[in-house]
Amino acid sequence: MDTSDWSSRQGQRLLQVGLLLFLSALLVGLVIPKFAVPRLGLSVHLLGIMQGTFLAVLGLLWPKLKLTQVTARVGFWLVVYGFLAAWTANVLAGVWGAGNSMLPLAAGPARGSALQEGIIALGLWTAAVAQITALLVIVWGLRASAEEQADKGRAIKEGDSLTGRSTASPPACGSNKAEGPRVGGSR
């Protein structure tokens, strides 16, 4: 299979997941007061908006990453899991009226059972590890080899010599020394 096929397909999926998360967050915004802890509902709403936007942008960027198929697949699933797990853990905290152990600013005094707090903590910790690892993979995929940089530099120089253009920037307006300064709108 061609590299561009699987890479483009993964990018398309990230774009779709991002827009679905964004839409879900918008819908959550309509029911914030219905959450057991409305402040957590607001957190879920904002988190979904931010993560959905990030996933959509990442979907557009994904085909440009220089990753092997296996590394791209691992990175793809780490991104999807990390973002959805974090959002889901926040949703559960808001619905259960729990989460004080991991989200004290958003949850306030709301504390759930040990099982609820454990599920929220597990979701947030594993999401954090997945997101950090995924972002390291993405940064790695953005690298450009020294050979590619040299090729780019040669292409720019060749293009300039073919068109006769200089790479120097043009002089600023009004900097022509022969013209002299303008005073009062006349010469």
Reported as a pLDDT band with limits 50, 70 and 90, residue 102 is: confident
* Whole-angstrom distance, CA of residue 44 vs CA of residue 90: 6
Query: What three-state secondary structure class fits 183?
Result: strand
State the pLDDT at residue 101. Answer: 87
Domain layout of the chain by residue ranges: 27-147
* Whole-angstrom distance, CA of residue 101 vs CA of residue 117: 7
Mean pLDDT of the chain: 85
Helical residues (DSSP H) of 31-169, grouped into ranges:
38-61, 69-96, 104-107, 114-141, 146-163
Q: Provide, rounded to the nearest whole percent, the portion of the chain with pLDDT above 70.
A: 79
State the pLDDT at residue 68. Answer: 92
pTM over 0.75: no
For 81-93, write each residue's pLDDT tens digit: 999 999 999 999 9
What is the per-residue DSSP string for 43-55? Answer: HHHHHHHHHHHHH
Task: State which of 2-6, 169-173, 182-186 shows the largest mean pLDDT.
Answer: 2-6
* Whole-angstrom distance, CA of residue 108 vs CA of residue 101: 10
82 and 130 Cβ atoms separated by less than 8 Å: yes
pLDDT mean over 135-157: 78
